[in-house]
Chain A
Amino acid sequence: MDIKLDGISHSYGPVEVLRDISLTIKQGQIVCLVGPSGCGKSTLLRFIGGLERPTAGQVLQIGAPPRESLNPLTYVFQHFALLPWRTVEGNIRLVLEGHKLARGEADAIVRDVLARTRLTDFAKALPRQLSGGMKQRVAIARALAVRPAVMLMDEPLSALDSQTRELLMDDLIDLWTRQPFTAVYVTHNLNEAVRLGHRIVVLSRRPGRIHKEIQIEMPLSERQPGDPLLEAKQAELWGLMRDEAKAADQELVDG
Chain B
Amino acid sequence: MDNSTTRPVPFRGGGFNPRPMRTVAPIVFVLLIAFLEVGTRTGIISGLTMPRPSDVARTLGGMIGSGLLWQHLLPSLQRLFVGGLIGTLAGVTLGTLIGLFTLVRAGLLPLVAALFPIPKIALLPLFVIWFGIDETSKYALIAFGVFTPTVVSTFGAVDSVDRSLIRMGQSFGLSWWAIVSKIVLPGAFPGILSGLRVSLAIGIILLVAAEMLGAQYGIGAYILEAGSLYDLNRLFAGVTVLSVLGLILSTVIGLVEKRFLDWRG
| Known contacts A75-B168, A81-B167, A81-B168; A126/B174 CB under 8 A | no
| Known contacts A83-B186, A84-B263, A85-B263; A98/B173 CB under 8 A | yes
| Known contacts A79-B164, A94-B182; A84/B264 CB under 8 A | yes
User: Could you pull out 11 A-B pairs where Cβ atoms are within 8 angstroms?
Assistant: A51-B167, A51-B171, A71-B173, A77-B167, A81-B168, A83-B182, A83-B187, A84-B263, A86-B263, A94-B172, A128-B264
A230 within 8 A of B: no
List B residues 161-179 near A (Cβ within 8 Å): 162, 164-165, 167-168, 170-175, 178
In the complex, A75 Cα to B37 Cα: how many Å?
A: 67
Q: Which residues of B contact A172 (CB under 8 A)?
A: none
Query: CB distance A81 to B165 under 8 Å?
Result: yes
Q: Which secondary structure dominates where chain A touches chain B?
A: loop
Interface residue tally for chain B (C-beta within 8 Å): 20
Interface residue tally for chain A (C-beta within 8 Å): 24
Residue of B nearest to A146 (CB): B172
A109 nearest CB across to chain B (Å): 13
List B residues 140-182 near A (Cβ within 8 Å): 162, 164-165, 167-168, 170-175, 178, 182
Query: CB distance A75 to B178 under 8 Å?
Result: no
B108 nearest CB across to chain A (Å): 29
Query: CB distance A83 to B171 under 8 Å?
Result: no
A98 nearest CB across to chain B (Å): 6
List A residues 84-120 near B (Cβ within 8 Å): 84-86, 94-95, 97-98
Indicate which residue in B167, B172, B183, B264 contacts A71 across the interface (CB closer than 8 Å): B172
In the complex, A79 Cα to B168 Cα: how many Å?
A: 11
B117 within 8 A of A: no
Q: Which residues of B contact A127 (CB under 8 A)?
A: 263
B265 within 8 A of A: yes
List A residues 44-71 near B (Cβ within 8 Å): 49, 51, 70-71
